[in-house]
Amino acid sequence: MADGNLNYLDLARRMDERGEMLPLVEVVSRLNPFVQDIVWKEGRLVTGDKFSRRTGLPGISKRAFNQGTPATKSRGDMVEEPCGMFSGLSKLDVSEAQLGGNELAVRLEEDEAFIESFGNVLEAEMFYGSQDVDARGFNGLFPRFEDPAGPAGQQLIDGDSDDATGDNNRTSIAIVGWGDKTVHGIVPKGKPGGLQRTDMGKQLVRDDAGLEFPGYVTSYEWTPGLAVKHYEFVARIANIHLEAMADAESPFLWEKLIEASSRIKSLDQVQGRIYMHRRLFALLRIQALRGVKNATLSYEHLDGSKRLVPHFDGMPIRITDGLSLAEKKIVGIP
C-alpha cells in the first residue's frame, strides 16, 4: 500500500480473507509490474462505477463588514465507467499433467501462462480499450486523450520532431498519477478483486475432432475497469516517431518529458508513474549515457524492492510492451 491507496495485492488480501487468490496475485504482479501500480477501488455499480467529475470550482467573493456572501457550489458531470469481462478456459490432458510425476507443478505452470496473458491483455486495454470499438471491454486511457479540442486536450503533448515521417509508426509516453480520487482501477460492486481462478476438476473434454479425453479444466475470469476522475493527473506525449528519435544527440524527447511532468497537477498523495515502450526507453537510456542535455535518469529502489528502477523527475519509469509502436498521428496538438 502506498499513500493509503490499495494496489492489486492489497485489494486481494482484503477481498479474499482466506487468501486463496494470493498466489495468483503475486504471480501477476511479478510478471507485470504495471498491474501492481494501479490503485484499485470497488465501484458503486455491479457493472462498474458512477461518480461526479468536477468541471468547475465554487465561486469566492470579497465582502465588507455587514455584507452577505452569495452561495455558490462546484460544478460537475455524472460519469459512469463500465467494467469489462475477460475470461479464459484451460483444458489440460490428464496424461500430459502426469508427465514427470508432478501434476501440481504442471498445472501451476499452465496457470502462470494464463496469468501472464491476462496481465498483457489488461495492460493493452488500460491504454487503448474503447467500448465504441468493443463493448465487452472498458474505456482505457488514450481514447480519452486523443482529441486536442476535447476536455482533456490540455494534457496532450506533441512528441513529433521536425523530421518525422509516416503516419502509423508512432508511439506514446503516458504519465499517470494513480490514486483513489484521481485515476484508479475499478472492481465491480460485490465482486472479488483481481483474477479469479476456478478449478473445475477432471472432466471428459473434446478435441478438435469431437473425440473425448480426460482433462483438468480450469476457468479464469477478471472484470476490471478504469476511472479517470481528474484529467490533470494524466499526461500523454503522442506522435513519437522512433526513427526520428534515433538521433542519440537530441534532447528533444527529454524536453517533452519535462513538459509532460509539469502538466501533472500534483504528485502529492498519488503514485506517479511513467510508461513507455522498451525500444523508446533504450533510446532515452543511450542519450542519458552520452550526456545529452536534460537527460537526467536516476536509479532508485521502489517499494522496498532490492532491484533498482529507473526514475525521471522523481517518478519510476515502467517499461511496457502494452504500448503500440503503430499509433496513428494525432493532428492539431498545439
166 Rama sector, left if φ>0, alpha if ψ -120 to 50, beta otherwise: left
Q: Residue 26: its pLDDT value, please? A: 54
pLDDT tens-place string over residues 55-67: 677 888 888 888 8
Give the max Cα distance, the chain.
Answer: 89
Q: At what angle do helices 22-31 and 8-15 cross, to 10 degrees?
A: 170
> In the chain, what are the helix, strand and coil shares in percent, each to the nearest 5?
30, 30, 40
Q: Residue 25: its pLDDT value, please? A: 52
Instruction: Note the pTM of the prediction, 2 decimals.
Output: 0.84
Helix (H) or strand (E) holding 278: helix 278-289
By DSSP bridging, strand 271-277 and strand 315-320 are: parallel
Q: How far apart are CA 34 and CA 321, in angstroms?
A: 10
Q: Residue 110: its pLDDT value, please? A: 85
Q: Residue 225: its pLDDT value, please? A: 96
CA geometry: angle at 123 spanning 223 and 236, to 5°?
120
Q: How far apart are CA 119 and CA 32, in angstroms?
A: 6
HSE-CB of 287 using CA atoms within 13 angstroms = 23
Q: Residue 22: its pLDDT value, please? A: 44
- Per-residue pLDDT 10s for the chain (334 aa) are 444 454 444 544 444 444 444 445 555 555 577 777 899 999 999 999 998 777 677 888 888 888 888 887 777 678 899 999 999 999 999 998 898 788 888 888 888 888 888 888 999 999 999 999 999 999 999 999 999 999 999 999 999 876 556 667 899 999 999 999 999 999 999 988 778 888 899 999 999 899 999 999 999 999 999 999 999 999 999 999 888 887 767 888 999 999 999 999 999 989 999 999 999 999 998 888 888 877 788 889 887 777 889 999 999 999 998 999 999 999 999 8
On the 0-12 / 13-18 / 19+ scale of CB atoms within 10 A, 116 is middle
Task: Enter the C-alpha cell of residue 122.
Answer: 489488461
The four Cα atoms 248, 253, 255, 260 give a dihedral, to 10 degrees, of: -160
Q: How far apart are CA 186 and CA 193, in angstroms?
A: 9
DSSP letter at 143? G
| Sequence spans of domains, the chain | 8-52+79-148+155-320
Q: Residue 30: its pLDDT value, please? A: 59
Would you say 231 and 61 are in contact if contact means Cβ atoms under 8 Å apart? no
DSSP-assigned letters across all residues of 85-105: -EEEEEEEEHHHHTGGG-HHH
- For the chain, the distance separating the N- and C-terminal CA atoms, rounded to the nearest angstrom, is 38
Hey, is 82 helix, strand or coil? strand
Q: Residue 245: its pLDDT value, please? A: 81
Q: Residue 310: its pLDDT value, please? A: 92
Q: How far apart are CA 205 and CA 186, in angstroms?
A: 35
Q: Residue 36: its pLDDT value, please? A: 79
Q: How far apart are CA 267 and CA 109, in angstroms?
A: 39
Would you say 329 and 170 are in contact if contact means Cβ atoms under 8 Å apart? yes
Would you say 234 and 155 are in contact if contact means Cβ atoms under 8 Å apart? yes
